[in-house]
Amino acid sequence: MKIEEIADKMDEAMKLEQASPQPITSATEATKPELPPAHAIASGKTVDEVWKDLNKSPLFMTDLDANEENEDIAALQALAYEGTPLENGQEFKERGNEYFKLKSYADAKEFYGKGIAILAGEERKRARGEQTKNQDGVIDTEEEIQKQRETLEALCVNRAACHLAVKNYRSCWLDCAAALRLNPRNIKAYFRSARALLAVDRIQEADDVCARGLSLDENNASLRAVADDIIKRAKEIDARRKRDAEREAKEKRRALLIKAALRARNIPTRTTSQPPEMEDAGIALLPDPDDPRSTLAFPTVLLYPLHLESDFVKAFEETHSLEDHLSYIFPLPWDKEGVYTAAGVEAFVETTQGGLLKMGKRVPLLKVLGTGKVEVVDEVVRIFIVPKDKAEAWTKEHKAKRAVEKGETV
C-alpha cells in the first residue's frame, strides 16, 4: 500500500472517529481571581449589596458543622477550675501567649484549648437558654458575657496561629471560623484562614475570605500580602491546568491518529481486561506522532515456545521485516545448541480464529498485519519463532491445544 493511499484512508478514518469538537473550559474561570481580592466582592455591586454579602458567612465556613465538638474539649469542660470562667479563660490565654512567644506551639495550643473549652462551654449553656453563673452562683452580667466572648474570640485566633505555624491547616480555619462567628470583623481570623486555605490550594475560598478582610481594612499589609500570593498561586494553577489540558488534548489527538492509522491499514486490535505493564511502550507513529504520514511501530514480543524464552522489541516498524530484527537478536545467549539462526527458524503469528499464519522473515510487518487476519492484542504483536525441523510438530501441538480450549475435536 502506498503512502498516499494510506494517508487518504486515514483522512476517511479520522472523519469517522473524530467526535464533534467540544469547547475546552479554561481553568482560569475556576481558579484565577479576575480582580484583586480587595475588590472581588464589590465589583458591580451597590454599597448595600456589598454589606449584605459581608454579613453572610465566608465561603469556607458554609460547609462547616456548627455543632462540631472535639471529644477532649468536652472532657475539659467537666473539669473544675478556681475563679470565674472569664478569669480562667484569660489566665489560659496569657499562659498560651507565653509559650507562643517561645515558639512552643504544642504547649501554647494546649493552654489556648483549655481556655476555649471553658468559655465555649459557657456559650453553649446560653445557647440552650440557660443563665450562666460564676462559682458563687452570681448570674453573669452583660458586660461579663461580652468579655467572655472577646476572650474566647482571642483564644480561637491565637490557637489558629498555632495550627498555622505547624501546618494544621484545617484546624486553623476551623478556629478562625469560630472566631468569626463571635466577631465577623476579626482581621486576624480573615488573614489566618486565608493563609491556611491558600496553603491547600482552596483558591476560591481563600480569595473570598481575603476580600472580606480587605473590605474591612483595605490597607492591612498582611492581608494585602496574602492577596498578592493568592493571585500569584491562582495564575500558577491556571497555567498548570492549561498545560494539563493541552497535554490531554494532544494525547487524545495522537490516540485518534493511531486509531485512524490502524483502520486505514485494516489492522484489527483488541484490549483485554488485564493488559501487560509496558511502561511507555505502545503503538506509535514514528518519527512524528502528530504526522499521519508517519510510520506505525508496534511493541513486539518474539516468543520461543520450545524453550519458554522471549525477546521484546519496543518499536517494530511496519516497514521492517522480522529478519531486520533477528540480525541483531541472534545468536541467543541461552541457545547452546545454536539452532536459532535466521535461516534455521520459521515464524508464525496467531490469527483471530486461533489458527497460525506463517510469516515470511523478509516480509514487511504491515503485509502480515494488513491481511486483517491477525489481531493486535493489548497493543502488542506476538510472533512465535520455532526451529525449522520442529515447526511442523509444534504447529500440530498448538492447533490441538487451541481445539481443546474451544471444546473441539481434532
Sorted by sequence, the CB contacts under 8 Å of residue 201 that are 6+ apart come out as 233, 237
Q: Is residue 253 part of a domain?
A: no
Given this model, what pLDDT does residue 25 score? 42
CB under 8 A, 24+ apart: contacts of 299-304: 299/379, 299/380, 299/381, 300/325, 300/380, 300/381, 300/382, 300/383, 301/380, 301/381, 301/382, 301/383, 302/329, 302/383, 302/385, 303/382, 303/383, 303/384, 303/385, 304/332, 304/340, 304/385, 304/386
In angstroms, rounded to a whole number, what is the distance separating the alpha carbons of residues 212 and 218? 9
pTM of the model: 0.67
Residues 199 and 308 in one domain: no
Mean pLDDT to the nearest integer, 273-298: 94
In angstroms, rounded to a whole number, what is the distance separating the alpha carbons of residues 170 and 8? 58
Q: E strands, 293-355, where?
A: 295-304, 309-317, 345-350
Residues 231 and 295 in one domain: no
Per-residue pLDDT band at 54 (split at 50, 70, 90)? low
Q: Is residue 254 part of a domain?
A: no
Residues 233 and 317 in one domain: no
Residues 34 and 145 in one domain: yes
Contact 226, 191 (CB under 8 A): yes
Given this model, what pLDDT does residue 82 score? 76
CATH number at residue 51: 1.25.40.10
In angstroms, rounded to a whole number, what is the distance separating the alpha carbons of residues 342 and 333? 15
Domain interval for residue 180: 28-239
Given this model, what pLDDT does residue 61 score? 73
In angstroms, rounded to a whole number, what is the distance separating the alpha carbons of residues 77 and 70? 11
**Does 51 have pLDDT greater than 60?**
no
Contact 33, 207 (CB under 8 A): yes
**Does 116 have pLDDT greater than 60?**
yes
Residues 323 and 203 in one domain: no
In angstroms, rounded to a whole number, what is the distance separating the alpha carbons of residues 383 and 345? 12
Q: Is residue 264 part of a domain?
A: no
Q: Tell me the per-residue pLDDT of 74-115, one tens digit each, with 9 for 90 and over.
A: 434 445 567 899 999 999 999 999 999 999 999 999 999 999
Q: Is residue 248 part of a domain?
A: no
Residues 352 and 223 in one domain: no
Q: How many domains in the chain?
A: 2
Residues 149 and 235 in one domain: yes
Residues 213 and 331 in one domain: no
In angstroms, rounded to a whole number, what is the distance separating the alpha carbons of residues 216 and 54? 9
Q: Is residue 271 part of a domain?
A: no
The rounded percent of the chain whose pLDDT value lies above 90 is 73
C-alpha cell read off for 274 = 488485564
Provide the mean pLDDT of the chain.
86
The separation between CA 157 and the C-alpha centre of its own chain, rounded to angstroms, equals: 32
| Cα dist from 183 to 57, 95, 222, whole Å | 11, 23, 19
Q: Is residue 313 part of a domain?
A: yes
Give the residue with greater pLDDT, 66 vs 132: 132
Residues 183 and 308 in one domain: no
Q: Is residue 345 part of a domain?
A: yes
CATH number at residue 329: 3.10.20.90
Residues 102 and 232 in one domain: yes
Q: Is residue 126 part of a domain?
A: yes
Cell 490565654 identifies what position?
A: 93
**Would you say how long the chain is, in residues?**
410
C-alpha cell read off for 116 = 476555649
Give the residue with greater pLDDT, 171 vs 37: 171
Read off φ and ψ for residue 331, nearest 5 degrees: -75, 155
Residues 63 and 122 in one domain: yes
Residues 229 and 365 in one domain: no
The residue from 214, 239, 264 where one domain ends is 239
Q: Tell me the per-residue pLDDT of 133-184, one tens digit each, with 9 for 90 and over.
A: 888 888 999 999 999 999 999 999 999 999 999 999 999 999 999 999 999 9
